[in-house]
Amino acid sequence: MPRYYFDIDDSISIHDEQGQDFSDSAAAQAEAFRRAAVYGGDPANLEKSGVIVVTVRDGPDSVVVRVRLICQVDDRKPGAGANSGVQGSMPHVA
């Protein structure tokens, strides 16, 4: 089984030295999506705009795929919520 490495960059880079075995590049890509989704699922990671990049490698310099998860936070008027009539407004989730 091929070994794939998952480097994470979200303003701090984490270089995967161990890797993980997957049956093929499609399975490794699915894992990259899963890792990005787990990161994006944590509200603490979404408090400000930013990008997380999961880079999948199958060797030291051999990139298989990159997954970018982008979080864009736009300031909104105080009190604007889902039913406020302000275009693009979202309810605040505590």
pLDDT given for residue 21 in this prediction: 98
Tell the residue number behind the tokens 């091929």, with chain if given: 2
CA nearest neighbour of 67 among 43, 31, 14: 31
pLDDT given for residue 57 in this prediction: 98
Residue 6 near residue 31, CB atoms below 8 Å:
yes
Would you give per-residue pLDDT tens digits along the chain (94 residues)?
999 999 998 878 899 999 999 999 999 999 999 999 998 888 777 666 788 899 999 998 899 999 999 888 777 766 555 454 444 444 444 4
Q: Which helix (H) or strand (E) holds 34?
A: helix 25-40
**How far, in Å, CA of 30 to CA of 85, rounded?**
38
Phi, psi for 44 (deg, rounded to 5): -65, -25
pLDDT given for residue 55 in this prediction: 97
